[in-house]
Amino acid sequence: MTDAAHRLLWTIVALLLVAGGTVTLAASFGVLPGGDPGAALLSAGFLTRWRLATPWTTLAAAVAGALLALTGHRLLGWELRPPRSAVRGTLSHPGRRPGRTRLRADVLVHALERDLTGGPGVRRAQVVLTGAPPRPDVWIRVDLTADARAAGVRDHVRAAVRRFAATAGCQPAHLDVTARIEPGRP
Amino acid sequence: MRTANRVASLLLAATLLAGGALLAVQALLITLDRPAPLLAPTGWYDTLTSARWRDPGVRAVAGGAVLLGLAVLAAQLRRWTPVRLRVDERDGWYLHRRCVERRLADAASTVPGVRRARVRVRRRGAEWRPRVRATGDPAARAEVEFAVHQELHHLAAPRTGRIEVRLLPREWPV
């Protein structure tokens, strides 16, 4: 999940907490119309009504529990899933002569990562493609060694992206490169 | 805040998964007339039927929920420091902020007599503004500034604004 998704999730949770707490406080001070602050939180006849409606009430509780568990499972999946390339499938180019050139997107990503990692000072590279295949957005993360010269690595990345564009025949619409440099005494 | 959000989301997901599965299993056991100890009306049912809306305990819990909600809301809505520092807008090149700050702190610490350097980098427009805090002789300020400048040059940083250096003299044990 992205940072923005986390922010949205916890903003919704916070709003629910504020709304729930405010309504409970209003009921507790008798501000709510028709509310009785002296009434019990759960009426004594609740258990009788619950038992009278069995098995529908217990089945409804089971369904609610299953939905909660499913929500938790999906959320856990989103949290633990590593980011993946959004562009999948095959890039296809019609040639001048009869025939087409087909390239698998994940092979292109792997090729760009290998090209980037081959540069001096680049320890690891991760590439994600998003957007439409003819002009994809290219997101690159490079981990640099402590002695890497940032200017040299920038030139290397620029050249690798040029080679990628020439090989795949798709010019990146947007290029985003984030570099992380290892700590080390200069 | 980002790490706190991730950890809190993981905890929320695990709680929803475990709690939901437990509720579903217990409710199905009751439907099949099997014993379900967690949903059996024992202590929690007596508490909820005996507690009144005006009880101080209910008000305290509701007030706590409102305060917690407001605190979380304020934490989510305030402006966060970006994790990346933009180097060049034209080729979309960014450096990880924490890495840059650690490198600059390491550079400041190479100056003789300077210890425990901490660096924060703020961006004002296209300019980076490093702020260095360290323990050492205040006379070494120019050397620290030079070392940080050199490291910024090494990182191919864009135009740098004034480097704020604050050196606190070492505290001797009494």
Domain boundary among B19, B53, B77: B77
Give the span between the Cα atoms of B145 and B148, in whole angstroms: 5
In a structure prediction context, what are the per-residue pLDDT tens digits for chain B, which is 174 residues long?
A: 788 889 999 999 999 999 999 999 988 888 888 877 776 666 777 788 888 888 899 999 999 999 999 999 999 998 888 888 888 777 788 999 999 999 999 999 988 888 888 999 888 877 888 999 989 888 888 999 999 988 888 888 877 778 888 888 866 555
Which residues constitute the domain of residue B144?
84-168
Subunit contact A41:B63, Cβ cutoff 8 A: no
In this complex, is the C-beta atom of A166 within 8 Å of any C-beta atom belonging to chain B? no
What residues of chain A lie within 8 A of the CB of B61, using their CB? 24
Which is more confidently placed, B38 or A156? A156
Q: Which range, of A73-87, A115-129, B76-90, averages the lowest pLDDT?
A: A73-87
pLDDT in tens, B36-58: 777 666 677 778 888 888 889 99
Give the span between the Cα atoms of B94 and B100, in whole angstroms: 11
pLDDT in the model for residue A11: 95
pLDDT in the model for residue B33: 80
State the best of B6, B10, B30, B119 to mutate against chain A, taking most chain A CBs within 10 Å: B30
Residues B164 and B89 in one domain: yes
Number of structural domains (chain B) is 2
ipTM (interface pTM):
0.70
Q: Which residue of B has its CA nearest to A68?
A: B20
pLDDT in the model for residue B172: 57
Residue B174 lies in a domain: no
Residues B155 and B127 in one domain: yes
Residues B43 and B116 in one domain: no
In this complex, is the C-beta atom of A53 within 8 Å of any C-beta atom belonging to chain B? no
Residues B153 and B112 in one domain: yes
Average pLDDT over chain A, rounded to whole?
84
Residue B122 lies in a domain: yes
Q: What is the DSSP string of B134-162?
A: EES-GGGHHHHHHHHHHHHHHTT---B-P
Residues B151 and B88 in one domain: yes
At B87, give phi and psi (nearest 5°): -95, -50
Amino acid in the structure at residue B65: A
Among left, alpha and beta (phi > 0; psi -120 to 50; other), residue A155 is alpha
What domains sit in chain A, N to C, each tagged with a CATH number? 3-28+43-80 (no CATH), 90-181 (3.30.70.1350)
What residues of chain A lie within 8 A of the CB of B96, using their CB? 178-181
Domain boundary among B62, B77, B92: B77
From the CA of A52, how many Å to the nearest CA of chain B? 13
Nearest-CA neighbor of A172 among B43, B92, B135? Answer: B92
Domain boundary among B77, B98, B130: B77
Residue B97 lies in a domain: yes
Subunit contact A65:B84, Cβ cutoff 8 A: no
Subunit contact A177:B92, Cβ cutoff 8 A: yes
Q: B21 near B5, Cβ under 8 Å?
A: no
Q: Could you identify the residue written with the tokens 């702020």?
A: B131
Q: A186 near B103, Cβ under 8 Å?
A: yes
Residues B72 and B99 in one domain: no
pLDDT in the model for residue A130: 79
Residues B25 and B96 in one domain: no
From the CA of A47, how many Å to the nearest CA of chain B? 8
Subunit contact A42:B151, Cβ cutoff 8 A: no
Residues B99 and B63 in one domain: no
Residues B67 and B106 in one domain: no
In this complex, is the C-beta atom of A46 within 8 Å of any C-beta atom belonging to chain B? yes
